Chain A
């Protein structure tokens, strides 16, 4: 099945720094989603992307759907302590047909902000 490679696995940054993470897939996706998971909670949707080349912002977060449809990135500007958590990319394979509507998730990027 499709695979998602998410990098980096973890990031140690200073408050106020910008953050960038990305995901690449082995196949073409028609949907890219970015989630954040806080400890003890379920993933919360941050940004949804539906078209190649689409660039979408949500406050300090910006995500883009790659032109090749095989990658996406998420940027966080001016990080603050509450940005700490695990960020997941997720996508739906463009050739899933009538079968798997479920998402394929990356392994996550652990964001740690140092005081």
Chain B
């Protein structure tokens, strides 16, 4: 079985400050990890993924995520938040040797205040 936990329902940060959205996962075998963002009444938009290699993954719109195998975490980060980053963020995992569909976390709402 595979699962994802996003422990924070909401994260609040001031514009210009760094942001972190937390994600931990559980899979058997090697994980493939993804971050998506969802704006109101829209589908999910791909941000970045970790497959293998460098633990720091860079993605769209200045976002990056750090894979930590020992802590089974894949936290999303951005050095300087923008008001336009306010949205719902989902972490997802897939077992490299198993199902190819994604298992999503429950989502974290990011609110960036001007």
The answer to whether A and B assemble together is no
